[in-house]
Amino acid sequence: MSAAKGRLRLGVNIDHVATIRNARGGDHPDPVRAAFAAAKAGANGITAHLREDRRHIRDADIAQLMERLTIPLNLEMAATDEMLEIALRHRPHAACIVPERREERTTEGGLDAAGQDNHLLPFVARLGAANIRVSLFIEPDPRQIEAAVRLKVPVVEFHTGRYAHLDGEARTAELRRLADCAALAAKNGIEPHAGHGLTFDNVVPVAAIPQLAELNIGHFLVGEAIFDGLESSVAHMRALMDEARG
Ligand SMILES: CC(=O)[C@@H](O)[C@H](O)COP(=O)(O)O
Ligand SMILES: NCC(=O)COP(=O)(O)O
């Protein structure tokens, strides 16, 4: 079945449950419990970003998620030897290679796949050989898609951070860029996903892009859970995505 005909999947990113836990150094709130709540409310998968500095998700969280989750885990990872070893040890369903800078507050942009094909190639090859579905977190930019084609990745995830922070005509132009790049990726046999900075207010136009197969959403859902509970927030996001697909 092509991505365009399937239901748009929701991957819930639980990183910032771990941020709250780590603020006190204990074990509450538990990201694995959050993953179960998200699954109950309609998440199709769980996303977790194991950063080099372990500021939120930690190695033990990945081990627990792999042991206990009944829905697929998408491990976000930098292209480093340490992360490759961890991914190969746990063999999650998917691994999304993301850019990472220790000083950044969050992932500020997409991976420059076009500028570092040679560096990425062994990571893509070794993850793929271990049956892990490899994705590249890139800007919606035809040059980056061309690099993804050269690297033969099955999936790309478009960084929607720019879209999320723009208004008016600039946002409309960015949405068009996302839609054109989703179509270009799909035309080249790559399954397009999207995520970063998506909220109840901005998700619908993105979810309506027919080629997109999956959205990964975290920070907003965890924040909204403070007011309305995680299950309710995830269920509402799920409903908005379904409405967008008519
Ligand atoms: C790669 C990505 O977009 C998400 O993992 C998101 O960045 C959450 O983690 P941070 O907030 O630490 O960037
Ligand atoms: N890859 C994007 C992601 O997992 C979630 O990003 P955000 O919703 O936490 O900004």
Report residues whose beta carbon is within 6 angstroms of any ligand 2 atom: 13, 47, 157, 195-198, 216-220
Q: Are strands 94-97 and 191-195 parallel, antiparallel or unpaired?
A: unpaired
> What integer pLDDT is reported at residue 106 of this predicted model?
85
Longest dimension (CA), the chain: 47
- Beta-ladder partners of 155: 135, 191
* Domains of the chain, each with CATH number or no CATH: 8-244 (3.20.20.70)
d(CA 226, CA 185): 36
Residue 101: per-residue pLDDT: 85
CA–CA distance, 20 with 28 (Å, rounded to integer): 8
Binding pocket residue ranges, ligand 1, CB within 6 Å: 13, 15, 49, 51, 76, 98, 106-107, 137, 196, 218-219
Helix (H) or strand (E) holding 45: strand 45-49
CB atoms within 10 A of CB 206: 24
Tokens of 18: 């771990």
Question: Which residue is closest in CA terms to ligand 2's atom 1?
Answer: 195
DSSP codes of every residue in 152-203: T-SEEEEE-HHHHH--HHHHHHHHHHHHHHHHHHHHTT-EEEEESS--TTTH
pLDDT tens, residue order, the chain (246 aa): 334 446 999 999 999 999 999 999 999 999 999 999 999 999 999 999 999 999 999 999 999 999 999 999 999 999 999 999 999 999 999 999 999 988 888 888 899 999 998 999 999 999 999 999 999 999 999 999 999 999 999 999 999 999 999 999 999 999 999 999 999 999 999 999 999 999 999 999 999 999 999 999 999 999 999 999 999 999 999 999 999 998
**Pick from 130, 152, 142: which is nearest to 75 by CA?**
130
pLDDT of residue 6: 63
Q: Which ligand is nearest to the CA of 237?
A: 2
> Number of C-alpha atoms within 13 angstroms, CB side, residue 238?
19
Identify the CA nearest to 159 among candidates 96, 227, 86. 96
Mutate to test the pocket of ligand 2, among 56, 193, 219, 222 (most ligand atoms within 8 A of CB): 219
Atom of ligand 1 nearest to the CA of 55: 12
> Sign of the CA dihedral 183, 11, 220, 246?
positive
Please give the distance, rounded to the nearest whole angstrom, from the Cα atom of residue 226 to the centre of ligand 1.
19
| pLDDT of the residue at 45 | 98
| Ligand 2 atom nearest 49 alpha carbon | 4
Binding site for 3-amino-2-oxopropyl phosphate: what residues are annotated?
Answer: 13, 24, 197, 218-219
Spacing, Cα 44 to ligand 1 middle (Å): 18
From residue 152, give the alpha-carbon distance in Å to each of 97, 102, 120, 185: 14, 28, 11, 12
State the closest ligand 2 atom to the C-alpha of 13, by its place in the atom list counted from 1: 4
Characterize the bridge pairing of strands 155-159 and 191-195.
Answer: parallel
How much is the ipTM here?
A: 0.95
Query: Which pLDDT does position 103 carry in this prediction?
Result: 82
CA 163, CA 110: separation in Å to the nearest integer? 13
pTM for this entry: 0.96
CA–CA gap between residue 188 and residue 151 (Å, rounded): 12
Given a contact cutoff of 8 angstroms between Cβ atoms, the answer to whether 33 and 42 are in contact is no
Query: Residue 233: nearest ligand to its CA?
Result: 2
Long-range contacts of the stretch 100-106 (C-beta < 8 A, 24+): 100/51, 100/52, 102/52, 102/53, 106/161, 106/196, 106/219
Residue nearest to atom 3 of ligand 1 (CA): 196
